[in-house]
Amino acid sequence: MIKIAIIGFGTVGQGVAELLVRKRDEIEKKIGKFKVVAISDLTGSISGEFKLEDAIEIRKKGKLPEERATSEIVEQEDYDVMIEVTTTRLDESGIAYMKTALNRGASVITSNKSIAVALPDLLKLAEKKNARLLYEATVGGAMPVIRLLNSYLALCEIRSLNGILNGTCNYILTRMEEEGLPYSQVLREAQEMGIAESNPTADVEGIDAGIKLVILANTIGIPAKFEEVEREGITKITPHAFKVAMQKGFTIRLIAEANRRKLRVSPRLVKINSPLAIKGTLNALLIHTDTAGEIFVAGRGAGKFETASAILSDLYELFRCSGNR
Ligand SMILES: NC(=O)c1ccc[n+]([C@@H]2O[C@H](COP(=O)([O-])OP(=O)(O)OC[C@H]3O[C@@H](n4cnc5c(N)ncnc54)[C@H](OP(=O)(O)O)[C@@H]3O)[C@@H](O)[C@H]2O)c1
């Protein structure tokens, strides 16, 4: 029986729980029986004998019932894998939970982009403890990139990565391109639609894309730090810039680029027929390799079930050969 602890029970945590309920039969056929033994977030915790369905309903209505702190759950509960889906903050909270789990020999699956500040250390710790750290959901939501790089392309030299890693920026730029509207108006409308946060800084200044770029770079063996990313956001782009670009067969996209020489997030001219001229909230990644040529992936970079699906994919990866069935 696989014992799972869910740490963080907001959008993604509840999405994972709902998929575990809805797809239990399919999941168990593929990886064997599982049980969620504990759930915890800042409202409280639930552990011991409980039904996952009930935990979801309780949290939707308010707080989790036990007053045990998350750190206590992480330190004391008996679990094989921790699904760590707490808020991304480039401080220690989520990372401390991951370190505790790994030190106890449990594996960690996370969507928490805070790993950008500690990925090499966490991977080393996982190896030392004979556990695994899987983080497909941190970059590009449902778009499969981490395992593509780590596994399918493991024996290729990755010469460069060029990605659209922030759906909010891509949405804003697409509407500016298509409707000739100014940045501030599109941002306001995106905020009203829930596509942009009320404080949009992390998205529009390229911080979120930069964090994901650091995760990707470390994944392909470039020991990058967030401070090393050259970064420029989309706030200064005008409808006029789009008009000029379009007349010459280009559009403008926020491109996150990594190669051995530089890490950069900035607005760039992209040919209209390039796959990177992708529209709306989609994410995309163009991978340039030595032997496999160019590989392009695209998909939904965020969303409750999209992100949860990447977590389930990691769960499958972790237990598919475990003989747990
Ligand atoms: N949503 C997406 O589409 C998406 C896509 C890719 C990656 N991610 C990443 O996935 C993570 C979860 O995202 P989300 O959308 O589910 O966020 P969310 O709805 O804000 O949920 C975050 C959860 O973490 C809990 N939490 C925060 N700090 C904690 C701490 N120190 N200890 C214990 N619990 C803590 C929160 O508790 P309270 O509710 O009590 O504050 C909440 O239950 C984030 O790191 C995010 O960047 C999200």
User: Distance from the CA of 298 to the center of ligand 1, in angstroms?
Assistant: 24
Residues 163 and 278 in one domain: yes
Ligand 1 pocket mutation pick from 59, 72, 86, 314 by most atoms within 8 angstroms of CB: 86
Is the pLDDT assigned to residue 322 strictly greater than 70?
no
Structural domain includes residue 324: no
pLDDT band at 176 (very low <50, low <70, confident <90, very high): very high
Is the pLDDT assigned to residue 159 strictly greater than 70?
yes
Q: Give the pLDDT confidence of 52-72 residue by residue, as tens digits.
A: 999 999 999 999 998 999 999
Q: Which residues, 6 or more positions from 163, have their beta carbon under 8 angstroms from its beta carbon?
A: 140, 209, 212, 213, 216, 255, 256, 257, 283, 284, 285, 286
How many domains are there within the chain?
A: 2
Structural domain includes residue 120: yes
Residues 189 and 164 in one domain: yes
Nearest-CA residue for ligand 1 atom 38 is 42
Residues 192 and 122 in one domain: no
User: Distance from the CA of 41 to the center of ligand 1, in angstroms?
Assistant: 9
Structural domain includes residue 147: no
* CATH value at residue 92: 3.40.50.720
What would the DSSP string read from start to end of 226-288? GGG-EE--STT--HHHHHHHHHTTEEEEEEEEE-SS-EEEEEEEEETTSGGG--TTEEEEEEE
Q: Give the pLDDT confidence of 264-301 residue by residue, as tens digits.
A: 999 999 999 999 999 999 999 999 999 999 999 999 99
Helices (DSSP H) in 105-252: which residue ranges? 119-128, 146-147, 167-179, 183-192, 201-204, 207-219, 239-247
**Residues of the domain holding 46:** 2-141+304-319
Residues 161 and 294 in one domain: yes
Q: What is the mean pLDDT of residues 198-226?
A: 95
Structural domain includes residue 325: no
Q: Identify the CA nearest to 263 among candidates 296, 217, 208, 294.
A: 217
Yes or no: say if 109 and 99 are a contact pair by the CB < 8 Å rule. no
Residues 275 and 240 in one domain: yes
Residues 127 and 45 in one domain: yes
Is 212 known to be catalytic?
yes
Closest ligand 1 atom, residue 63 Cα? 40
Q: What is the mean pLDDT of residues 141-153?
A: 95
Residues 250 and 294 in one domain: yes
The model carries a pTM of 0.95
User: Distance from the CA of 216 to the center of ligand 1, in angstroms?
Assistant: 21
Top-confidence residue, 91 or 134: 134
What is the C-alpha R_g of the chain? 20
Q: Give the pLDDT confidence of 28-48 residue by residue, as tens digits.
A: 999 999 999 999 999 999 999
Residues 237 and 309 in one domain: no
Structural domain includes residue 146: no
CB-based pocket (< 6 A), ligand 1: 8-13, 41-43, 70, 85-88, 93, 111-113, 137, 141, 302-303, 307
Residues 57 and 179 in one domain: no
Nearest-CA residue for ligand 1 atom 15 is 11
Residues 6 and 69 in one domain: yes
